[in-house]
Structure formats: structure tokens, C-alpha cells
Amino acid sequence: MPNADQNDILFERARAVIPGGVNSPVRAFRAVGGTPRFIRRAEGAYFWDANDKRYIDYIGSWGPMILGHGHPAVVEAVQKAVLEGFSYGAPTEREIELAEAILALVPSMEMVRLVSSGTEAAMSALRLARGATGRKHIIKFEGCYHGHADALLVKAGSGLATFGHPTSAGVPPEVTQHTLVLEYNNIAQLEEAFALHGNDIACLMIEAIAGNMNFVRATPEFAKRCRDLCTQHGALLVFDEVMTGFRVGLHGAQGVLGITPDLTVLGKVIGGGMPLAAFGGPRAIMEQLAPLGPVYQAGTLSGNPVATACGLATLKEIAKPGFYEALSKKTQSLVEGLKAAAAAEGQPFNADSEGGMFGFFLMNELPQNYATVMTTDNAKFNALFHGLLDRGVYIAPALYEAGFVSAAHSDEDIAATIEAARQIFKASQPR
Ligand code: KE4
């Protein structure tokens, strides 16, 4: 009897006690099929599954592991922190240090509140925007994901005047009735929405480089219109940088685009792999938050001393001179290599990257919106995903997810990835 696949065994056990066998849906491989890999350990650019098979990791915990797994300075900081205590439920100096470090790197923020997940940060920023403006309506874009707070689990209504409908059971339509869902990069729609509802809009929330539809950039014109229309109508511009913050560059997507949002939502990298996220902005807005102001927000583990130690140690490393130049160069070499491999085999393919974040599409264009991304041939993507997985390369198990390169990925890892993809492109040649 060949060695039983330990991932199958664990998956069966997991499904008996955890819905779908996972604690976050995308991990279940339902979009790509097959058995999720149960990871036993990780180091640098790699992790090993339950069969002790090694993979080059392009998930990086969906963004946080920008230094790679187990960076010595981060491990040391966490080990020291846990010996001082896991959690106090009282303020600590380290929370001040992390807040100061974030504010030094995100000039649009004068104050920041630490929380434990991107969902919590986006949800809180939304409540703050509504509280600070006294308005109810919000704008989001199809293809952007801001966590699973009820008001943000919305799909587009039938037209501009109509508001969104819930994308999830358990979300009453009353909760999403104030959420307008527009097409990403569609300036005409944006202008119409503000013309119709401008004075009732509390905020516009956007991923300025959208990693939840793989990798779609807001055009500079679109991003500027979002900024200008929010200013003109007194709505707050909220950049959800949970994924792009400290990932696409030291100053995030707002640094790449040169746009100053009113509020910024952060997560992933700032926690270095521990549960930590944040939201922040100008003092006048942030001081609307409890305990100073009327907008309530709280959290047992907010600013957790171990998570803040992990985040601080991570930020210290990425703030070092040359970090992003080296990371960007490595990511670009991956993207250019994949494009060349696909072209050599006559496969429709395009890709883009910024800093340590990349995306690719099995089409020759770079999509500008969600509808175009979703025209991807699922079967072709799944074949590529599993072909890479079999060759020890782990990319996102869904075509609408971005990829992440860490400082630990070597040139050899990049070359091996490109070669693996070339073999798959070649094999999928029409005979
Ligand atoms: P969390 O609640 O998962 O920490 O963050 C929610 C969130 C908010 N905003 C953006 C732009 C995000 O990308 C996310 C979470 N990203 C997904 C990956 N696309 C996390 C992976 C998962 O859901 O398991």
C-alpha cells in the first residue's frame, strides 16, 4: 500500500470538526479542486506539507510574510515578548512604538488604532467614516474585498440608483441598503453615483491596487477622480491597504499613486504573521473614536504585546535602505520570466507587479475590472495551479487572488518557478 497521503488523512479529520476543514474558506481549494496541503512548518521562502513535501511559498500567509518565514530578528523579538507575557488588556509602550513607526511611514495618518484583523480594521474605519460625517451611504467596488463585515459583503445592485444586495446568507438587505457597488476603474459610473448620492456618501472604500481580483491597478485618472469627488462632496476616501500596505512599497499604494486618503486600513505585513491590523487618519477624525468621541470601537487583544513585537521587528527590517528595491527587482524578474515562458509556448498570458506583490492572467490583456478578470478559463488556471503544486510551487488556490514574493525568495527559487511554469505552458500546447 503506497504511503497514505497525510494531507488526505488530515483533511478528512479536519472536515469532521471544522466547517469545510478550514478556518478560512479560500484555504479549502474549492476553487481549484483537490486536497488542501496541511502545512507542518515553514522556513524562509518555503513551507513543508504533511507529507514533508517542500513548496516555494508565494502565499506568504496572504501577504504578511514579506521577510520570509522565521526571520531571525522577528523570531527573537517574539521569543523575548512571550517571556514578558502574552496579553495584559492594558496599554503598553510597545503599542506606542508601533503606532509611531506606522505614522512615520504613512504620512496621511496622524493617529492610528490597532486591532486584530483586517476585517475589524475595515469595519471600524467604515463605522468611523459614518460617525464622523453623519452620513449612511458608502461606495465600494466589485472585485474589492474588505473583510467580512456585513455592510461590505455586497454585490452590485441592478443600477446606480439601487443599492447593493448581500453576497452572504445571514446579512439582512437592510444592512447593505446603503452600500453602492460600482465597477472598478469606471469613471463615468463613479461620477454618476456622486451626482445622484454625493451629499449622502460617508465614504468610498477602495483597494487602490486590487489584490482581491488578482492584481488590478486603479488607473491614475480613476484614483484621482475618487479623491476629487470625495473632497468635492465631503465624503471620506478610505484606502484599504490591508494587502498593499508595506507590501507594494514602504508607503503603500497611496505612495505609489501619490494620493492622500482620509483614512487608511492596514493589516497583514504590519503584524508580520501575527493577528494585528490597524486603521488611521487625521487627528480630527480619529479623535471621534471612543474613549474620546462617540464612535465606539474596542478589542480584547487589540495591540497585543506579542503581535506588536512581531510587527515592530518586521517594520524595522522592511524600513532598511534598499529593501523594496531588491524585493521589487526579484518580483519583476518572476513576472517577466513567466511572461517570456508563456510567450515562448504561445500561451495567452499577462502579469503585473508592484513591490513584493504580483498577479498574472491567462489572457494577453491586463484586466481593468472584475468582470474581465472573471472571464479567465477556470480549467486552464486550475491546470496551471496543480501543475505548479505538483512541481513544488505553491501559488494562490484561486484565480482572483494575488501572489507574494518575500525577501527570502532566491534567484534560484524564481528560476525554478519560471521553469515549472514553462513546462506546464509547453504541455498545454494545443497538439
Ligand atoms: P482579514 O480579516 O482576513 O485579516 O483581512 C480582511 C481583508 C481586508 N482587506 C483586504 C484588502 C484583504 O485582502 C483582506 C483579506 N485578504 C484575504 C486574501 N484575499 C485573506 C485570506 C483569507 O480570507 O483567508
Edge to edge, what strands does the sheet with 39-43 contain? 39-43, 46-49, 54-57, 393-394
Dmax over Cα atoms in the chain, in whole Å?
70
Query: 220-232 pLDDT, tens per residue?
Result: 999 999 999 999 9
User: What does the block give as the cell for 119?
Assistant: 476585517
Q: Among all residues, which ones are annotated catalytic?
A: 145, 240, 268
For 210-215, what is the mean pLDDT? 97
Query: 282-309 pLDDT, tens per residue?
Result: 999 999 999 999 999 999 999 999 999 9
For 254-266, what is the mean pLDDT? 98
In order of start, what are the domains of the chain with their CATH numbers? 76-318 (3.40.640.10)
Query: Ligand 1: residues within 6 Å at CB?
Result: 24, 26, 62, 117-119, 122, 145-147, 207, 211-212, 240, 242-243, 267, 277, 401
Query: 7-64 pLDDT, tens per residue?
Result: 999 999 999 999 999 999 999 999 999 999 999 999 999 999 999 999 999 999 999 9
Alpha carbon distance 348, 429 (integer Å): 11
Q: Is the pLDDT of residue 163 over 80?
A: no
pLDDT grade, residue 161 (50/70/90)?
low
- What mean pLDDT is reported for the chain? 96
User: Checking phi first, is residue 234 left (phi over 0); if not, alpha (psi -120 to 50) or beta?
Assistant: left
In contact, 162 and 199? CB cutoff 8 Å: no
pLDDT grade, residue 164 (50/70/90)?
confident
Alpha carbon distance 167, 176 (integer Å): 10
Q: Which of 375, 347, 350 lies closest to 361 in space, CA to CA?
A: 350
pLDDT grade, residue 155 (50/70/90)?
confident
pLDDT grade, residue 419 (50/70/90)?
very high
pLDDT for the residue numbered 415: 98
For the CA of 265, the nearest atom of ligand 1: 9
Nearest CA to ligand 1 atom 18: 62
User: What does the block give as the cell for 207?
Assistant: 483597494
For the CA of 120, the nearest atom of ligand 1: 2
Alpha carbon distance 156, 179 (integer Å): 9
Query: 341-391 pLDDT, tens per residue?
Result: 999 999 999 999 999 999 999 999 999 999 999 999 999 999 999 999 999
For the CA of 144, the nearest atom of ligand 1: 11
